[in-house]
Amino acid sequence: MEPLARRTLLRSGLLAAATAVAGPALLTGCGSGGDSSAPTGAGPRRGGTLRAAFTGAGAGETLNHFVGGTALDMVRARALHATLGDLDPSAPDGVRYGVLETIEVDEELSAYTLRLRRGLTFSDGSPLTARDVLWSLSSPADDPASLPVYRNPASTFDFGGARVEDDHTLVLPTRAPLADGRMVLCQGNYLVLKENSDFSPGTATSGPFRLEEFAPGEGCLLTRNEAFSHPEADEAPYLDGLELRSLPDSDARAAALTGGQVDLAHDLSPVTARTLRGDERFTVTSTDPPYVSGLFFRMNLAHEPFRDPRVRTAFKLAADREAMVESVFFGDATVGNDLLGPGFPDYADEIEQRPFDPDRARRLLREAGAEGMRVTLTTGPETPGMVEVATLYVENLVAVGVEATLEELPAGQLFADYPAYARLPLAASFSVPTPALPLYQMSYGARNPAALGWDRPDVDELVATARGTSGEESARAGLAAQRTLWEEGNTIAPVFKPFTTAHVPGVAGVADDLFEQFPGFSRATLS
């Protein structure tokens, strides 16, 4: 009952009380290694320019993060533009607000009122208003080049019917009753730009830093934005400057760190991270759920054997998840339970962990007449560990009597031909940290091509109910939907891997920015 009560409380805005009941697991997302949280005692140290390396794009890189999907795009955007808010299970509303003071929801769950903090300005001194917030949320939907993540709010909120009541109040009607709208708006990636921003280097910014120098494909130099007002730390940002570097290769990022050319290297491969953990000159931190990426495989229901639920269950039971965590990630990863979004408040962590049971898998395959079935698992090095986990999984399948083979595509090709990808019998993929139920609606429900044949209007309805109601009803529907997915779904999600960052010991306060998969520096210090 505890987790159910927790989710109920979350939605009624009483999570602080719930965390004490539900235990520490819920709070793991709040920090990732004490070394990178803010120093205590004498107060944060001011000054210094922190240098950090991320995966970036090439010479075509722009300052428009709506169209740029690299880690550097996101980190730079969060340094330049203030966030609406971040997910924070320990906060009263389940989110920690940025430029917002509160988000109020009406009784029918059909309108969200966003109230802005007073006195906020852009770096050019102009006031930050509700019109800027509305433009920042709605404009990506009008640009076909925008990334799906930025177009998603338009499928949840009716921006055409939005009302700017005054400079500090924005009312957003929903397209359908919605209980988790705060979680949708405050995921850390919705940022406030000045209305009609052209993303040129001279554009006024609302975030902790402003742009000093931008070299597309190489990096950027940012300086402290004196006009920035941090909601919790009056003196922040503490750094004088921030130098963000683009290094697409994980080994090059690690080399820049060990060679003293940067102070922080983001998203390291498991092997590199393990090497650096043994070097006392550096601190290695890994994110905890919910800031983790799921490595999963999806069975295509258009292929005959996978239409039998016994075969799907057998494929799930065949996965030796602990071995994957140990041998690919040297223990620095989380075992998955075939559901996405662990760590988020709407994730059904009350569902029992699926065991590794090759004997039962073999028996189920025999019963289904699928013993010795042939299947090819297609994967690619789209994120560190993806190919290695797929390799182990193929071995697991062979061990239960499946004639499984692995096809590894070159980097960048797995999703390049999406119609072809959607026809694969068994396809690898990965998820980014997103709450479980919105993620279902975005990429799995309503016959989405990414679902590879999953078509269950009853589950779609349960998810819609969970998101469109509050309290017990919402929690029950969310749990029922995920229970069905767990039992009958076509996803095998054996491992959730962290985003691993290494830095010199003098770096602190990065984890305090939340949204840990893409480090923020509004409260970072350097000594």
- Give the binding site for another protein (CB under 8 A): 57-62, 64, 67-68, 144-145, 147-148, 213, 215-221, 243, 245, 247-249, 251-252, 255-256, 258-259, 261, 409, 411-413, 415-418, 420-421, 442-443, 448, 450
Cβ closer to another protein: 106 or 417?
A: 417
Q: Which of 288, 290, 111, 92 is nearest to 188 (CA)?
A: 290
Using CA atoms, how far apart are residues 188 and 96, in angstroms rounded to an integer? 9
Cβ closer to another protein: 164 or 221?
A: 221
Q: Which helix (H) or strand (E) holds 286?
A: strand 283-286
Cβ closer to another protein: 118 or 447?
A: 447
Q: Least distance in Å: CB of 217 to another protein?
A: 6
Cβ closer to another protein: 398 or 420?
A: 420
Q: 199 and 64 in contact (C-beta within 8 Å)?
A: yes
Q: Least distance in Å: CB of 327 to another protein?
A: 25
* Terminal C-alpha separation, the chain: 46
Q: Which of 274, 278, 295, 294 is nearest to 286 (CA)?
A: 274
Cβ closer to another protein: 251 or 322?
A: 251
Q: Which of 88, 27, 17, 79 is nearest to 52 (CA)?
A: 79
Tokens of 234: 């009056």
214: three-class secondary structure by DSSP: strand
Q: Which of 195, 221, 191, 198 is nearest to 209 (CA)?
A: 221
Question: What's the distance, CA 10 to chain centroid?
Answer: 19
Q: Least distance in Å: CB of 440 to another protein?
A: 13
DSSP 250: H
- Using alpha carbons only, how large is the chain's radius of gyration in Å? 23
Cβ closer to another protein: 160 or 410?
A: 410
Q: Least distance in Å: CB of 441 to another protein?
A: 11
Q: Least distance in Å: CB of 262 to another protein?
A: 8
Cβ closer to another protein: 112 or 297?
A: 297
Cβ closer to another protein: 258 or 327?
A: 258
Amino acid identity for residue 178 in this structure = L
Cβ closer to another protein: 302 or 416?
A: 416
Tokens of 64: 């428009």
Cβ closer to another protein: 56 or 345?
A: 56
- Cα angle 239, 186, 116 (rounded to 5 degrees) comes to 80
Give strand pairing partners of 474.
none
Cβ closer to another protein: 34 or 148?
A: 148
Cβ closer to another protein: 104 or 249?
A: 249
Q: Least distance in Å: CB of 344 to another protein?
A: 19
Q: Least distance in Å: CB of 151 to another protein?
A: 9
Amino acid identity for residue 371 in this structure = E
Q: Which of 255, 66, 275 is nearest to 153 (CA)?
A: 66
Cβ closer to another protein: 203 or 334?
A: 203
Q: Which residues contact 333 (CB under 8 A, 6 or more apart)?
A: 292, 324, 325, 385, 495, 496, 497, 498
Q: Least distance in Å: CB of 386 to another protein?
A: 14
Q: Rounded to 10 degrees, what is the CA torsion of 138, 144, 147, 152?
A: 40
Please name the residue ranges forming H helices in 282-435. Answer: 309-317, 321-329, 358-367, 386-399, 418-421
Q: Least distance in Å: CB of 415 to another protein?
A: 5
Q: Least distance in Å: CB of 51 to another protein?
A: 9
Tokens of 497: 């891997």
| Residue indicated by tokens 């990965």 | 430
Q: Least distance in Å: CB of 218 to another protein?
A: 5
Q: Which residues contact 121 (CB under 8 A, 6 or more apart)?
A: 127, 128, 206, 227
Q: Which residues contact 137 (CB under 8 A, 6 or more apart)?
A: 153, 157, 159, 172, 185, 190
Q: Least distance in Å: CB of 335 to another protein?
A: 27
Q: 502 and 276 in contact (C-beta within 8 Å)?
A: yes
Q: Least distance in Å: CB of 131 to another protein?
A: 26
14: three-class secondary structure by DSSP: coil
